[in-house]
Amino acid sequence: MAEFVQLLFNGLVAGSIFGMAALGISLVYSVLHLVNFAAGDFLTLGAFTTFYLATSQHLPFVLAVILSMVIGVIVSLILEFILWRRLRRSGAGMLALFLVASGIAFILRQSIALTFGSDSRRFDLDQLTTYEFLGAQIARLQLIVLLCASIAITGIALFIKKSNIGKDMRAYADNASLAAVSGINVDRVIIATWTISGAYGALAGVFQGTVQGQFTNGMGLDLLLAILAAVVLGTIGDAYGALIGGFVLGVVMDLSTWDALAGGIPSTYKPVVGFAVLVIVLLFKPEGIFGVRARKI
Amino acid sequence: MTAILQPGFWVFILTMSGIYGIFTLGLQVQYGVGGILNFGHVGMMALSSYTMAILVIAHGFNFWVAAASGVAVAALGGAFLGLTTLRLRGDYFSIVSIAFSEIVRYVIFNSDGLTGGAQGSLAIMPIGDAYPSYTDTWDTILYWIRDHLTPILGEIADRDMAMGILVWITFGILLFIVSRVERTSWARVLRATREDDDVPSALGKNVFRFRLQAVIIGSIIGGIAGIYWALQVSLLSPDDFLTIVTFYAWMILILSGATKVKGLAIAAIFFGFLYGGTRFFTFWPFSFFDASQRSYMRIMIIGIVLIVLMIRRPQGIFGKREEMVLE
């Protein structure tokens, strides 16, 4: 039982991080029809800028995190203005967008490697305090991450549901031309999308760096596949689906190592489990958990 | 700087270009003809090369049987990928295909007993006390070629040059075969499915089966590239099969103008120089960085080329714009 609680808790923490990152990818896809392969490296960027500001520049940790989110947003917006906008206007197809996103991923990752080297880093936080809950050891930092992530997730879910920009975003994702003729400010929608994606990517990166303890410049890339799996699981382009997909995947991946399940799977195979889940779901429901049956255009 | 003047360096670049060219040719069949966005192509290379290495080292198979088995396993990998996920929408398929290749790499990395794990093929348990090498048969051929080249070329002829020659002969043959295949009615149907599912379906063509065949053929070609890769590096490591390798192939494919076979060889050589040549960027402003930092910059430069290419010339050097914009 204690092990179950422990794994469930670990899974929820991982899932909240997957969900936050997946949300950004899904929103960007729904508005811009672009699978953002660089999203993983935005997580790394967030973790490293926070490390730099908090540890090297001795800023308060929370301030460093907020500044990192701002930097994530600025980088996302710069890319929008110099690349994505131009590509959209030239009518670039899915493949072109894929490849540009992967090019950005290479440049971003190598820039981080060039600046910070290949050593692993850690935040200067109290890694040791743990609480006992139903026999499970729960680290204080994990608990904080889960709480903050839950607040962030609830906040963004409400924002998309209730705010005017959120409604515009959903309208635009649903039918771009209809939204545009109805007087929705398309540029504002796109900027809001990149802002959410940039800020939440950086925040998810900080959370992941905190939970992992140590992180290198490959952190985001290692996580990207699980995040993409969460995106697809929750139906690509569906923001709420991405959040739920993230949690489902996080919990399933951690629970799969549970001893009571026929000895459990070695934890090194956790990512494989994530994909097995994805492939099985897609076999039965090719549009993802929340997808509507093929609407061909 | 003197390394640039060495013939060995040029031979190395050309050999790698040829292997990447073969690898990309597999993608060309899938995307250039069938419009299939496969981002897990490197997985096929991993499957064939590791299968071959394990069969030769751990089970004492004849090299040719092992190599053929490796290519067959790559074909099976393609069939598995296609059967499970090819019915998905294009963007779903591309994500799942990346996942496929990453899982292959992950399993190789973690199956120490079978594949040698992180230590690579050197840690595969050989039969008896033999050195864990799978290149013996191939080396015999290479030395035979070298010995016949020496009277003509003199001292320059060596094992690496023999390797380069064999790679390019294979590449040439495969290019010829594929360009022939692409003129068949099979390829015409496949090309029709790239634009639209409905018309070929209405004409009684099983779109799924054509696409599946394209994925399997591409995987076989990718598998052949994997065997050559294994022979060239002579020591496999799971790190040889990172997803980035698939992106190298995509870059070559886009450079050559995806729908045309003829540019592929030139694009592959261009990539080879970009990839191998950047390590000699020792002049200003690169002289500010040390060797490991310059290796980071190499991948950055490839990223920049990819982006500039997609913005300035998405149809590649030889391609037609109309054929690229339709996706």
Domain ranges of chain A: 2-284
What's the whole-number mean pLDDT along residues A207-226?
A: 87
The pLDDT value recorded for residue B2 is: 56
Q: What angle do CA B53, B57, B58 make, to 5 degrees?
A: 110
Residue among B102, B307, B324 minimizing CB distance to A83: B307
Q: Let me know if A4 is exposed, middle or buried by CB neighbors in 10 A (0-12, 13-18, 19+).
A: middle
pLDDT of residue B322: 56
Going by pLDDT thresholds of 50, 70 and 90, the confidence category of residue A297 is: very low
Q: Does B214 touch chain A (CB under 8 A)?
A: no
> Which residues of chain B have a CB within 8 Å of the CB of A228?
95, 98-99
Residue B326 pLDDT exceeds 50: no
Indicate if the alpha-carbon torsion angle B104, B109, B110, B114 is positive or negative: positive
Q: How close is the nearest chain A Cα to the Cα of B225, in Å?
A: 22
Tell me the average pLDDT across B166-172.
94
Across all residues in chain B, what is the average pLDDT?
Answer: 84
The residue that leads in pLDDT, B148 or A200, is A200
Sole residue written with tokens 């998810």: A204
| Residue A220 distance to chain B (closest CA, Å) | 14
Please check the confidence at residue B23 and state whether its pLDDT lies above 90: yes
Q: What's the burial of A48, exposed, middle or buried (CB within 10 Å: 0-12/13-18/19+)? A: buried
- How does pLDDT run across B44-97, given as a tens digit for each residue? 999 999 999 999 988 888 999 999 999 999 999 999 999 888 877 777 888 888
Question: Across the interface, do A94 and B92 touch by the CB < 8 Å criterion?
Answer: no
Structure tokens at A39: 């999203």
**A295 falls in which pLDDT band (50, 70, 90)?**
very low
The gap between the terminal CA atoms of chain A, to the nearest Å, is: 49
ipTM of the complex, rounded to two decimals? 0.80
**A139 membership: H or E segment, kind and range:** strand A136-139
Closest residue, chain B, to A295 (C-alpha)? B89
* Cβ pair A97, A35 in contact under 8 A: yes
B244/A106 Cβ within 8 A? yes
From A155, A109, A123, select the one nearest A50 (Cα to Cα): A123
How many residue contacts between A and B have a Cβ separation below 8 Å? 127
CATH dotted code for B2-325: 1.10.3470
CA distance A221 to A109: 9
Tokens of A282: 């897609």
CA distance A107 to chain B (A): 5
* Rounded distance between C-alpha atoms, residue B220 and residue A54, angstroms: 51
pLDDT at residue B325 in the model: 44
d(CA A222, CA A40): 8
Q: What is the mean pLDDT of residues A217-237?
A: 84
CB atoms within 10 A of CB A152: 19
DSSP category for residue A238:
-
DSSP A67-80: HHHHHHHHHHHHHI
User: Locate tokens 């063509």: which residue?
Assistant: B205
Kindly list the residues from chain B whose CB atom is less than 8 angstroms away from the CB atom of residue A278.
96, 99
Give strand pairing partners of A121.
Answer: A215
Range A189-216 average pLDDT: 92
Look up residue A163 and give its two tokens: 């705010």
Tell whether B118 lies on the interface with A, counting CB pairs under 8 A: no
Least confident of A125-129, B4-8, B194-198: B4-8
Residue in B97, B107, B286, B300 to test binding to A, most A beta-carbons within 10 Å: B300
Query: What percent of chain A stands above pLDDT 70?
Result: 94
Among A107, A93, A81, residue whose Cα is nearest residue A34: A93
Q: Which residue, among A97, A109, A110, A115, would best test binding to B if mutated, counting the most B CBs under 10 Å from its CB?
A: A110
Q: Answer whether B85 sits within 8 Å of A279, measured CB to CB.
A: yes
User: Residues of A at the B interface (Cβ-Cβ below 8 Å)?
Assistant: 29, 35, 83, 86-87, 90-96, 98-100, 102-107, 109-111, 113-114, 118, 225, 228-229, 231-232, 236, 266, 268-269, 271-272, 275, 278-279, 282-283, 286
Q: How sure is the predictor about A291, in pLDDT bands with cuts at 50, 70 and 90?
A: low
Q: Give pLDDT tens digits for A130-140.
A: 887 777 788 88
State the pLDDT at residue B317.
Answer: 66
Cα–Cα distance, A51 to A53 (Å, whole number): 6
Using pLDDT thresholds of 50, 70 and 90, give the confidence band for residue A47. Answer: very high
Tell me the average pLDDT across A229-253: 86
B86 CB-side CA count, 13 A: 23
Please give the pLDDT value at position B177: 93
The alpha-carbon radius of gyration of chain B (Å, integer) is 20
CA A124 to centroid of chain Cα atoms: 23
Quick: pLDDT tens for B170-186.
999 999 999 898 888 88
Let me know how long chain A is. 297
Instruction: Judge whether B195 is closer than 8 Å to chain A, CB to CB.
Output: no
What would the CATH number be for the domain defined by A2-284?
Answer: 1.10.3470
What is the SS3 assignment for A107? helix
